[in-house]
Amino acid sequence: MVRPPAKELTLRELEVMHVFWKAGELAATEARDKLAAVGVDRAYVTVANLVRLLVDKGFLESANDERPFRYRPVRTFDEVSGNLVGDLLKRVFRGSREQLLVKVLDSRKKLSAKERALLEQILKEQNE
């Protein structure tokens, strides 16, 4: 029996998506070069296969019909990250935002002034 293709992103697919979210439209070679520039060294064939998988999953789309093929994101970072956090909340914390918040804020590392200000702003907006 053949397993249906996964709709979630793997870690390597997510690395590639970050490149496309930051740069927009790219060819696979450009995406590979941008990954290498931040210390993620992947063979061109690996990146090209990841791009193909991301097209198949609906995260990227072809931007042209001639070589070199260029691709652009279909789904935004906000959409994908929101879905991933929602999935984490359901699967790991069984829907408990309280447990998630406790885990995030009890990380043995104090919040920076910027993080604290952002959290206070979010809480303020929640009360309005």
Question: Span 89-118, mean pLDDT?
Answer: 90
Domain boundaries, given as residue ranges, for the chain: 1-91
Identify which of 96, 112, 9 has the alpha carbon closest to the alpha carbon of residue 59: 9
pTM across the whole model? 0.84
Q: Is the pLDDT of residue 64 over 60?
A: yes
Kindly list the distances between the CA atom of residue 30 and the CA atoms of 37, 60, 86, 98, in Å, as whole numbers in the listed order: 10, 15, 31, 42
State residue 89's pLDDT score: 96
**What's the rounded Cα separation, in Å, for the pair 14 and 90?**
20
Specify the CATH number of the domain 1-91: 1.10.10.10
